Structure 1
Amino acid sequence: MQNRRLFFMRKRLLAVTLSVMMTASMLAGCGGKADTKDTKKVQTEQDSSKEEGTAEESSEKKNAAEDAGLEDGVYTAEFHTDSSMFHANETKDGKGTLTVKDGKMVFHVTLHSKNIVNLFPGKAEDAQKDGAELLQPTVDTVTYSDGTTEEVYGFDIPVTVIDQEFDLALIGKKGVWYDHKVSIENPLKDE
């Protein structure tokens, strides 16, 4: 339902944007002057549509934990990815820690090495834009079944949905961004 609402909001924004572009191109093609009242009205509608989308998106993010039926606390949850090269460390059995506080969720995953240097909640294309806020690694120590220990990277990932895939881009030591789909599933509250 949440995705459907987001789809219709984007569709409405696209329709308003296309209307503005068509109006502008028709006026430019005719060589006439734009009626400032109509231009302002279309711009106001477009701004209003953007504001509605932003307010609804932030409201959805705040209610994500509530929608998932999660109260404030710490949970153990499964971390699923679309890649065999990008996964939770074997010592974590495919799981990580989901922390819910004030309706916001953050998932900490310990990876299998230090080869992934940054994550970005979204697409690789957006991660490369100026001002993109990249997720910085933490240094986690893991102990394997044979008793050896190793330092690896972990990440705190903001989560807006449970049991649904979302975009998470990563960059490795070679400096190339990759798009991935991940999901956080089956959270169980820690004692």
Structure 2
Amino acid sequence: MKRSVAMMACVLSGAFMIGSYSPVLAKTEAKAVSATATDKDGAEAKTDAAKADDKKEDTAKGEVLEDGVYSAEFDTDSGMFHVNEANDGKGTLTVKDGKMTLHVSLASKNIVNLFVGTAEDAQKDGAELLEPTTDTVTYSDGMTEEVYGFDIPVPAIDEEFDLALIGKKNKWYDHKVKVTNPQKEEADADAAEDTAKATEKKDSEK
């Protein structure tokens, strides 16, 4: 009899202990599930934000300038190949029907041809070389000089592209260039503004 009572007491004690631990285990599991859900939500939020940033970047890269005339900076990878100092590192960017062409006046007449691509491709049969124009530049002291200029097709703004050159030594060289910071020419911008105002006036009169 005593043994039965003792065994029953042990069983009841064990049940009591299990019962007392169960809420703690339940709370721990609930916290773990909650933390996992929070981490998952945070990761998804970060992924969505990253996707949004990528989309904005792609949109910016794919942006096409409206037709018109702009000033734009012409950056090269060489101190020997650059825009004439009289033009402050800039050229004239013309946009027509979505196609962009940058005219730059160089430092001298030493560069006789350009090619959009690599030096190797420039030497292949059928390569379309860019021919020079003769430009007159005016320096800050009033002196003028005749130099060569080129009309360079621009595939995209703010993106580096290959532009090979050949000089009087008849040797082709590879270079990387980039057109950046296009700014609408003042006269062109004024004309666009006048057109917009005229259109707005017509719409209001209807």
The CA deviation string for residues 14-52 of structure 1, in whole angstroms up to 9 with x for no partner, is xxxxxxxxxxxxxxxxxxxxxxxxxxxxxxxxxxxxxxx
Instruction: Answer whether contact 1:81 1:183 (CA < 8 A) is retained.
Output: yes
> CA separation in 1, counterparts of 2:63 and 2:75?
17
Distance in structure 2 (CA, Å) of the matches to 1:69 and 1:147 = 37
In the alignment, which of 69, 73, 79 is matched to residue 68 of structure 2? 73
Aligned to 1:102: 97
In 1, distance between residues paired with 2:86 and 2:166?
Answer: 23
Task: Give the drift of 1:67.
Answer: 2.7
Structure 1 outlier segments of 4+, above 4 Å: none
What aligned pairs does 1:170-185 form with structure 2 within 5 A after superposition? 170-185=165-180
Looking at structure 1, the residues matched to 128 and 109 of structure 2 have their Cα atoms a distance apart, in angstroms, of 20
The answer to whether the 8 Å contact 2:64/2:98 transfers is: no
* Cα offset, 1:69, TM superposition: 3.5
Equivalent residue letter for 1:112: A
Could you tell me how far apart the structure 2 residues matched to 1:166 and 1:144 are? Answer: 29
Kept in 1, the 8 Å contact 2:115–2:122? The answer is yes
Specify which of 129, 154, 158 is matched with residue 124 of structure 2.
129
Counterpart for residue 152 of structure 1: 147
- Identity, % of aligned pairs? 77
* Residue in structure 2 matched with residue 169 of structure 1 by the alignment: 164
TM-score, normalization by structure 1:
0.65
Report the AA paired with residue 90 of structure 1: E
Counterpart AA for 1:76: S
Q: How far apart, in 2, do the equivalents of 1:128 and 1:185 lie?
A: 28
Query: Which structure: larger Rg?
Result: 2
The aligned runs of 1:39-118 (5 Å cut-off) are 67-118=62-113
Q: Distance in 2 between matches of 1:67 and 1:109?
A: 24
Give 1:68 shift.
3.0
Judging by fraction of residues, say which structure has more helix.
Answer: 2
Please list every run of 5 or more consecutive structure 1 residues that lacks an aligned counterpart in the other structure. Answer: 1-65
Q: CA RMSD in A?
A: 1.1
Give the whole-Å Cα distance in 2 for the aligned partners of 1:164 and 1:68. Answer: 12
- How many Å apart are 1:86 and its aligned residue? 0.1
Please list the CA deviations of residues 72-123 of structure 1 after superposition, one character each: whole Å capped at 9, or x if unmatched.
0000000000000000000000000110000100000110000000000000
- Structure 1 residue 143: Cα displacement: 1.0
The unaligned stretches of length 5 or more in structure 2 are: 1-60, 187-206
Q: Tell me the matched-pair count.
A: 126
- TM-score, structure 2 normalization: 0.60
User: Does the 8 Å CA contact 1:119/1:136 hold for their aligned counterparts?
Assistant: yes
Name the CA distance, whole Å, in 1 between partners of 2:107 and 2:175. Answer: 16
| SS of alignment partner, residue 112 of structure 1 | coil
